[in-house]
Structure 1
Amino acid sequence: MCGIVGYMGNREAYGILVGGLHRLEYRGYDSAGVALVNEKGELNIHKCKGKVADLENYAKDKDTDGSMGIAHTRWATHGEPNDINAHPHYSESASLAIIHNGIIENYSVLKEALMENGYSFRSTTDTEVLVQLIEYIRNNNHCSLLEAVRSALKKVVGAYAIAVVEKGNNDEIIAAKQSSPLVVGIGEDEYFLASDATPIIEYTDRVVYIDDGQIAVIRRDQPLKILSLDNEEGSVDIKKLDMSIGQLEKGGYPHFMLKEIYEQPKTIIDCTRGRISADGSSVTLSGVMANKERFLNANRIIFVACGTSWHASLIGERLIEEMCRIPVEVEYASEFRYRNPVINKGDIVIAVSQSGETADTLAAVELAKERGAFIFGICNQVGSSIARATDSGTYIHVGPEIGVASTKAFTGQVTVMAMIALTLAHEKGTVTPEYFSEVIRGLQRLPELIERVLESDGRISELSKIFTYSRNFLYLGRGYNYPVALEGALKLKEISYIHAEGYPAAEMKHGPIALIDSEMPVVAIATADNIYDKTVSNIQTVKARGGKIIAVVTEGDTVVRAIADHCIEVPPIIECLTPILVSVPLQLLAYHIAVNKDRNVDQPRNLAKSVTVE
């Protein structure tokens, strides 16, 4: 959600900080600000409601000097989006400034205690409470900034990634993390700080991921120091980033979302590279094979995920159950963590998250670990919190996804789940060699087949004009394609703000059929599969009530084409891989409708890319 950027070095910090905030705009936010400490030791804060461009306009005649500073984009939790609640926040004496991602759960208790000691508050945020607490501790204990931050954080309950600077000292930034991402970039005689690596890659590929309960002490001309909340020094583990600036640019596309839709042929290749043998005879996922006995002897597998990752997990459930004959459950991470689930040591919990930082999923991981389950992660971000918290896992390797509405991460997740199912099924002997080979051939052909689907983009763009001003959509699918109906509906409502619902096609008659009329567009996924005839009957039921049918069908279909108002074709592929192909035209349909409505496709209102709060 919120974005953090920090800099200390020999350059002017303001341009680097603002440029970093622009890189983080994809995360979603409603206000922005910077705090700079100049060479005179003056602490200047500039912040406002709105976009980073509004901040730049606001600050253009302000003092932005200084080679050290911190910056922030805020996604409102406590307190409405406005200038006062924007970060950074001053302490009462205006000698300290803080930026913060996350939520301080016991802020009200701390605030009441501080008010009893004479402190007053400018904002209605939980963050201002923390900076006031740090100042209170420092004044009463006459201690260093580091000691005051460390002591304050031991009194805090909640999630945070913070950075603190002080007036009169342009040589030190104190940063800390708990359940919210934070990374330090190490350059030549300079340091960078960010909530993810995207603002850093322009300057350095050497980074240190801060772990939960750690404090990073960033001091000019000194090595980075990592401490625990108990003041124990930790190791500085420098990683090399596998990311390029080109991946963070639009590359000639009008939006990141469209670029990422078109990247899917390549990202599927990257996802399968080195995992499927050149001759198509085997699939090897090292994270699975290194823990083969655990998987083969698992009592059950539980997927925990949110949003698009939850939809991918529904497909993963069917893939693993059908191929491997292992019981699988799929849980919303936000519900799983609060319902005292039954988890045994023979269970495997698979945590799925594009960012690897989803707060609810991370909390579900910690709960499952406490109960003795083996934890496996599926995520995209190398070095992310979930990647570090799990026992083993697999990266989807689709590259940075900047558009808030997930596209290539979804198809990458499903591809990985198919490879997990194939790996286990081969070891268990639960699929025939013929079926095993057919699925592998399908995975190898996916890039070519997605390219063919993308050739329909112009037709889908024209089709979208017919439905731009529809107020509701219904998406129907069965079997493997039911989760794709959910995902297609989610894409549409995320970026166009049109209400849309996904349903199992046969369930329509148990309620949603009451909504069907000539004003209700229905997207029906009717590819060739073992329940094709049943889906055709469902479509006829909609058509009999005047519904407008947009059907996604397999190339050469004549039955549905004779019924539907509009058809979008996808190439034939083995049934278990159809969700990957079918999702692409649904992504394009949502994209073009949103563009027609002049929506902010990459940064839809109220949404954030990485949901790091509950």
Structure 2
Amino acid sequence: MCGIIGIVGKAPVSDRLIESLKRLEYRGYDSAGVAVQRGGRVERRRALGKIRALEAVLAEQPLTAEIGIGHTRWATHGAPSERNAHPHTAGRVTLVHNGIIENFAELKAELQAEGRVFESETDTEVVAHLIDHYLAAGAAPLAAFKSALDRLTGAYALAVLIEGRDNFIMGARRGSPLVVGTGAGEMFLGSDALAVGPFTNKVTYLEEGDYVAIDHDRAEIFDETGTPVERPMKIVSASAALVEKGNYRHFMEKEIHDQPEGCQHTIAAYIDPIAGRARMAGDVDFAALDRIQIVACGTSYIAGLVGKYLIEKLADLPVDIEIASEFRYREPALRPGALAIAMSQSGETADTLAALRLCQAKGLKTAAVVNAQESTMAREVDVVWPIHCGPEIGVASTKAFTAQVSVLTALAVAAARARGRIDAAEEQRLVRILLEAPRLIAESIGLEDAVKAVAVDIAKARDVLYLGRGPMSALALEGALKLKEISYIHAEGYAAGELKHGPIALVDEHTPIIVLAPYDSYYEKSASNMSEVMARGGQVVFITDPEGAKHAPAGAKVVMTAPASDPLISPLVMSAPIQLLAYHVAVLKGADVDQPRNLAKSVTVE
């Protein structure tokens, strides 16, 4: 979750760029840089490490100009270094970028074939060269920008300077947020309201696929088709900007929409896209492990279930997972040679912490998958694997769930390689698939209008069943949990094959059945279970992918088509629709979405 700031100002901007970047330090970063434009020329300064290192560079080599862009970088493609720090320049183009360009290697090869030379290892530099390529072909800046955007696959937020065009910055967003700030004779671009907060409280939130050009007085916004559009301006107070909801009514809604960027940030910490390797910090010898023991509660437990499927399938490493509140009381048989993984968004969950300490007392090596890196859990384990998803305010966990699953997916790939279950080529293939997740999650969120329509009927129900097989059975549990905790509708999740062993007795024409079934090795059996339900009058909402929709049994009340994805990441891609369904049902019922009754964000008592 790199930070971006752009200013078309009336006064020198270097100090203000630095001020804004300091407000974005919470997003995490390993390098920083700024670029300014004066008299048609662009100059930049970059530094490895904290912003104070960049300030030292600027003290020695000052920049004076009234237009500029700045960036704090969290390394994805290419190691942390000054050479890989943003901004990046190619020809007339200088830009900063948050996100992952999935097809950067293909584009880079194409650009190198025409003689272009690259200075960094980043995917970002490809975007700069691509825009400059279209400029060199005679396109005007906005046309060149749009042509480049049309070639990009992945998630991004961009701020772009064009040499020779003073008082002009272009920006775009897809899968990563970008806002426009309006001042008095000045305009701003930023990663969020906090970035532009020191300069203005008038903020316009760009929508998915939008691109924009700003000058001193206005922002010209276009949608992804290139059609000029108006987006509403909002007044954001300084305090609200610290944890602001943006265009969203609730934090939960915002956090669902934050998932492409959050997932990107998580994945960046655990894979090396240049080498095509998964990397798990800490001294864990996966080849020597007898098994993994996961302990967790609630949504974290369900994330662990998804991880169990992936780790056992890819790495052939046995995984036991247990609800922490049960684990410590049943005198489990624990032996050294296992790795105990505690999973908790807060890192303070009392039951999970107690289970972790029991594992430590039995001599197990321990690790924690947590969001809060300074938490008790993080301090007490041997290895910390942070999920890096940023603050989660809503009580019902959404982006922390997909971040936890992202970490466990990377772990499954790393363990499989370490145990000799996959070779280097297969590891590279799986890493490429994992890089697709942020984009596909963003596309999956695009089902929101269809979800809203379904929510109208679900809100009238007294009972709802969720069904799935394989990893989707875990998502069925998660979908039911989300619906229960924020809408107060009774819901249950089941492995679809268990339907005929009892739950099918609940099925009638008044019971909505949510079936999760992408077109994978489980699909045929899932479709059969769906037919069993429909034969008994069940009202089926079928969430699948394009191929699954093509083969869907006749009779489903609603078919929602998520984007096609590899089974490795389908749990990530399929999460957004079930989260959105719970959210919109709760809104229709008038529930307090962010603070549901009887629940707390961090359960620090047993």
Q: TM-score range by the shorter chain?
A: 0.5 to 0.7
State the match for 2:382 in structure 1: 391
Q: Distance in 1 between matches of 2:601 and 2:553?
A: 37
State the match for 2:284 in structure 1: 291
Deviation at 1:439, TM superposition (A): 2.2
Q: Distance in 2 between matches of 1:375 and 1:445?
A: 30
1:570 and 2:562 are equivalent in the alignment: yes
State the match for 2:311 in structure 1: 320
Deviation at 1:255, TM superposition (A): 0.1
Distance 1:394 1:512, change over 3 A: same
Contact 2:270 2:407 in 1 (8 A): no
State the match for 1:444 in structure 2: 435
Distance 1:426 1:467, change over 3 A: same
Count the aligned residue pairs: 368
Q: Distance in 1 between matches of 2:240 and 2:417?
A: 39
State the match for 2:410 in structure 1: 419
Structure 1 letter corresponding to 2:577: P
Structure 2 letter corresponding to 1:451: A
Q: Distance in 1 between matches of 2:430 and 2:455?
A: 33
Q: 2:277 aligns with which of 253, 277, 282?
A: 282
Structure 1 letter corresponding to 2:305: L
Deviation at 1:247, TM superposition (A): 5.7
Contact 1:396 1:416 in 2 (8 A): yes
Q: How does 1:30-179 map to 2 (within 5 A)?
A: none
State the match for 1:611 in structure 2: 603
Contiguous gaps of at least 5 residues in structure 1: 1-201, 203-243
1:512 and 2:507 are equivalent in the alignment: no
Q: 2:268 aligns with which of 256, 268, 273?
A: 273
3-state SS of paired residue (2:300): helix
Deviation at 1:278, TM superposition (A): 3.1
Structure 1 letter corresponding to 2:260: P
Q: Distance in 1 between matches of 2:466 and 2:428?
A: 32
Deviation at 1:304, TM superposition (A): 0.2
Contact 2:434 2:568 in 1 (8 A): no
3-state SS of paired residue (1:575): coil
Q: 1:377 aligns with which of 368, 375, 391?
A: 368
TM-score, L = length of structure 2? 0.59
Offset from partner CA, 1:432-483 (integer Å, 9 cap, x none): 4454233212211111111111111112112211221100000000011110
Q: 2:581 aligns with which of 564, 574, 589?
A: 589
State the match for 1:481 in structure 2: 472
Q: Distance in 1 between matches of 2:423 and 2:559?
A: 34
3-state SS of paired residue (2:277): coil
Contact 1:365 1:389 in 2 (8 A): no
State the match for 1:307 in structure 2: 298
Structure 2 letter corresponding to 1:480: P
Q: How does 1:331-342 map to 2 (within 5 A)?
A: 331-342=322-333
Structure 2 letter corresponding to 1:484: L
Distance 1:559 1:605, change over 3 A: same
Q: How does 1:254-269 map to 2 (within 5 A)?
A: 254-269=249-264
Q: Distance in 1 between matches of 2:530 and 2:441?
A: 25
State the match for 2:594 in structure 1: 602
State the match for 2:447 in structure 1: 456
Contact 2:287 2:415 in 1 (8 A): yes
Q: Distance in 1 between matches of 2:342 and 2:262?
A: 21
Deviation at 1:246, TM superposition (A): 4.3
3-state SS of paired residue (2:339): strand
Structure 1 letter corresponding to 2:306: I
3-state SS of paired residue (2:278): coil
Structure 1 letter corresponding to 2:302: H
State the match for 1:406 in structure 2: 397
Q: Distance in 1 between matches of 2:525 and 2:422?
A: 26
Q: Distance in 1 between matches of 2:599 and 2:453?
A: 27
Q: Distance in 1 between matches of 2:494 and 2:461?
A: 18
Contact 1:324 1:425 in 2 (8 A): yes
Distance 1:281 1:395, change over 3 A: same
Deviation at 1:274, TM superposition (A): 4.0
Contiguous gaps of at least 5 residues in structure 2: 1-196, 198-238
1:253 and 2:244 are equivalent in the alignment: no
Contact 1:247 1:400 in 2 (8 A): no
Deviation at 1:291, TM superposition (A): 2.5
3-state SS of paired residue (2:574): helix
More displaced 10-residue stretch of structure 1: 586-595 or 450-459: 450-459
RMSD between aligned residues: 1.6
Contact 1:280 1:441 in 2 (8 A): no
Q: Distance in 1 between matches of 2:366 and 2:599?
A: 28
Q: 1:533 aligns with which of 520, 524, 529?
A: 524
Structure 1 residue ranges, 4+ long, deviating more than 6 angstroms after superposition: none
TM-score, L = length of structure 1? 0.59
3-state SS of paired residue (1:527): coil
Deviation at 1:390, TM superposition (A): 0.7
Q: Distance in 1 between matches of 2:253 and 2:284?
A: 38
Q: 1:362 aligns with which of 344, 349, 353?
A: 353
Deviation at 1:571, TM superposition (A): 1.2
Q: Distance in 2 between matches of 1:456 and 1:509?
A: 31
Q: Distance in 2 between matches of 1:245 and 1:373?
A: 44
Q: Distance in 1 between matches of 2:560 and 2:470?
A: 19
Q: Distance in 2 between matches of 1:254 and 1:513?
A: 37
1:329 and 2:320 are equivalent in the alignment: yes
State the match for 1:83 in structure 2: none
Q: Distance in 1 between matches of 2:457 and 2:465?
A: 16
